[in-house]
Amino acid sequence: MTVADDEHAHLISAVRAAGAIAMGYFRADPRAWEKSPGHVVSEADHAANDHLKSALWQPNPDDGWLSEESEDDLSRLEAKRVWIVDPIDGTNAFLAGRPEFAVSAALVVDGAPVAAALYNPATDEMFEALAGGGARLNGEPMGLGRATAVEGARLISSRAERDREEWRAELSGVAVTAISSMAYKLALVAAGRYDACVTLWPKSEWDIAAAALLLSETGALMTDAQGAAFRYNRADTRLPAVVAAGPALHARLIERLAGRR
């Protein structure tokens, strides 16, 4: 399905506006609470979510809606078009005052992202893509890093995961940079600042849907740790692991991780 340029422009505008809303709370001690053990949400997340829902879904009520900060009633499973949104990916970093978070939104049609916008308002980086139309960072085309071997590759992951035994056992010889926000990490791989992103912890569709299109439009692969591709708008939104890199490096990383099977 082709997405009209004006709808894509509207998506970018909505995501940029949600980022501006988030910045109104950044380093301003917003109210925050645990929505479940170990998972924090803030009033900024809800304000950004409200804006995105109003801008993207309410004008298109036949579309589905899946957001980390909205109750999921599964009616989206009947929709051909679904908006998959994370109003602030990297809430812990946001609350800590670190510029390592992003507003992420994708339009998914028949299980595949066709339009995406991912914005870090603290750094003013807008990553966006259209299926078949390429991917851009602040209007300029993006390109992947050139690493094809695991040794010497620039890997990006989380602080907690970097210190796990599995990294030392299975990804020895790799320099790992730790940054919060799964969506932002994947966008930085699509932009060529890092060669790969690997997480061996479960993620959710809203963490990766927008970045999936950025990556595919720059020629990268993103799969689980066994090399299986993802589809979106499933009843179970959890994903077991994520490996994203250019094709040659992706193949080498999957080989390294084969011991986990």
Whole-number mean pLDDT of the chain? 94
Going by pLDDT thresholds of 50, 70 and 90, the confidence category of residue 172 is confident
Least confident among 4-18, 24-38, 68-82, 150-164: 150-164
205-239 pLDDT, tens digit each: 999 999 999 999 999 999 999 999 999 999 999 99
Res 189 pLDDT > 90: yes
Mean pLDDT of 194-209: 95
HSE, CB side, 13 Å, CA atoms: give it for residue 59: 9
The answer to whether 154 and 194 have CB atoms below 8 angstroms apart is yes
| Length in residues, the chain | 261
The answer to whether 100 and 115 have CB atoms below 8 angstroms apart is no
Which tokens go with 230? 């993802």
Q: What is the pTM of this model?
A: 0.95
The predicted pLDDT at position 83 comes to 98
The predicted pLDDT at position 260 comes to 55
Give residues with Cβ within 8 angstroms of 115, minimum separation 6. 3, 7, 8, 11, 106, 107, 129, 130, 131, 213
HSE, CB side, 13 Å, CA atoms: give it for residue 223: 17
The predicted pLDDT at position 164 comes to 74
The predicted pLDDT at position 2 comes to 65
Going by pLDDT thresholds of 50, 70 and 90, the confidence category of residue 159 is confident
86-123 pLDDT, tens digit each: 999 999 999 999 999 999 999 999 999 999 999 999 99
| Distance (Å, whole) CA 230 – CA 35 | 27
Res 21 pLDDT > 70: yes
Q: What are phi and psi of 50, to 5 degrees?
A: -60, -40
The predicted pLDDT at position 10 comes to 96
**Would you say the C-alpha torsion 75, 215, 134, 85 has a positive or negative sign?**
positive
Mean pLDDT of 234-256: 96
Per DSSP, the residues of 10-39 read HHHHHHHHHHHHHHTTTTS---EEEEETTE
Mean pLDDT of 140-144: 95
Largest CA distance in the chain: 50
Res 168 pLDDT > 70: no
Q: Please, where are the H alpha helices in the chain?
A: 5-23, 43-52, 91-96, 159-162, 165-170, 182-190, 205-217, 247-256
54-63 pLDDT, tens digit each: 999 999 999 9
Going by pLDDT thresholds of 50, 70 and 90, the confidence category of residue 165 is low
